[in-house]
């Protein structure tokens, strides 16, 4: 596996691969890799000839008081995992390589970026959009893969790619879960042992709501309220629990068939997100 830290080096490899007719898949990450990230790499290998992975803890998507400085950074272990998984190139840029000191350009997907996690974390999705847009321009992939755990993020990236005519296919990959059902996340490492016993109830609440809907209960507001009460009683601080249309994340109505239930809640100091999507 090649490791580069500059855009110039990255583009040279991409140019060489393209010159011999190779297709390129891209997996952007913030490091601290777990089985969910490695599933993205594994899927990428099946869809393209060469796989590029980036590790960049992006400062623009962290708000005031969030964990940018303490976000887990495990580059040596990440490199070992990517080597074992068969990635072809790792892009490890500095902040200065990604952002000019006098950068003025912003990328915001209006409407979608203000909902759910965007309401709780103002500016977060603009930070995501600008860095993903820049990474696409740097890596110039044919296909890019993202985890479906961050369903809102994936929807925003798909919309940005469509609106800006970026020539990359976006593929969502199913959430990888621990045996308990807890969605794998770098932030799970912040949970205490006791909190980790309770945290899987977030996914359980999603499954209960989904099963109720599939059984014919379309009183979505009631289901949302019941789930929030359940989470609160379990020890969470619920942020949102919303039954939405999977296409645009607007509140679902009785006529909607393709659904996603989005949820976020704090367990102790750790903010957890999860979702479940299905057709009824």
CA angle 171, 60, 32 (to 5 degrees): 60
What does the alpha-carbon distance between residue 9 and residue 238 come to, in Å, rounded to a whole number?
44
Q: Which residues are catalytic?
A: 37
Task: Cite the DSSP H helix spans in the chain.
Answer: 7-19, 35-47, 75-85, 95-98, 117-120, 124-139, 151-163, 193-198, 201-214, 220-234
What does the alpha-carbon distance between residue 46 and residue 224 come to, in Å, rounded to a whole number?
38
Question: 17 near 140, Cβ under 8 Å?
Answer: no
Counting Cβ atoms within 10 Å, is residue 106 exposed (0-12), middle (13-18) or buried (19+)?
exposed
Question: 200 near 181, Cβ under 8 Å?
Answer: yes
**Nearest Cα to Cα of residue 174 among 202, 210, 147:** 147
Cα–Cα separations (whole angstroms), residue 190 to 58, 70, 105, 214: 19, 11, 33, 34
277 bridge partner residues: 260
What does the alpha-carbon distance between residue 218 and residue 16 come to, in Å, rounded to a whole number?
54
């Amino acid at each position: 596996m090649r490791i580069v830290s500059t855009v110039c080096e990255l583009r040279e490899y991409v140019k060489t691969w393209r010159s011999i007719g190779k297709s390129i898949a891209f997996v952007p990450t913030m490091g601290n890799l777990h089985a969910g990230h490695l599933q993205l790499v594994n899927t990428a290998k099946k869809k393209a000839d060469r796989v590029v992975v980036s590790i960049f803890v992006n400062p623009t998507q962290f708000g005031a008081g969030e964990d940018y400085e303490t976000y887990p950074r495990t580059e040596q272990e990440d490199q070992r995992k990517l080597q074992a998984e068969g990635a072809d190139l790792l892009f490890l840029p500095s902040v200065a390589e990604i952002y000019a000191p006098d950068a003025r350009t912003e990328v915001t997907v209006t409407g979608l970026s203000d909902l759910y996690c965007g309401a709780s974390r103002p500016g977060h999705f603009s930070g995501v959009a600008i860095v993903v847009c820049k990474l696409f321009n740097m890596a110039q992939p044919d296909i890019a893969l993202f985890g479906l755990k961050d369903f809102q993020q994936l929807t925003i990236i798909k919309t940005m790619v469509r609106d800006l005519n970026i020539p990359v296919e976006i593929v969502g990959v199913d959430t990888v879960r621990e045996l308990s059902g807890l969605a794998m996340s770098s932030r799970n490492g912040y949970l205490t042992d006791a909190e980790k016993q309770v945290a899987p109830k977030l996914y359980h609440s999603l499954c209960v709501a989904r099963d109720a809907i599939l059984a014919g209960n379309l009183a979505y507001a009631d289901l949302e309220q019941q789930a929030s009460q359940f989470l609160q009683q379990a020890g969470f601080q619920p942020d949102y629990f919303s039954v939405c249309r999977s296409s645009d994340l607007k509140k679902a109505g009785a006529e909607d068939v393709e659904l996603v239930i989005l949820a976020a809640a704090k367990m102790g100091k750790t903010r957890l997100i999860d979702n479940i999507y299905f057709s009824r």
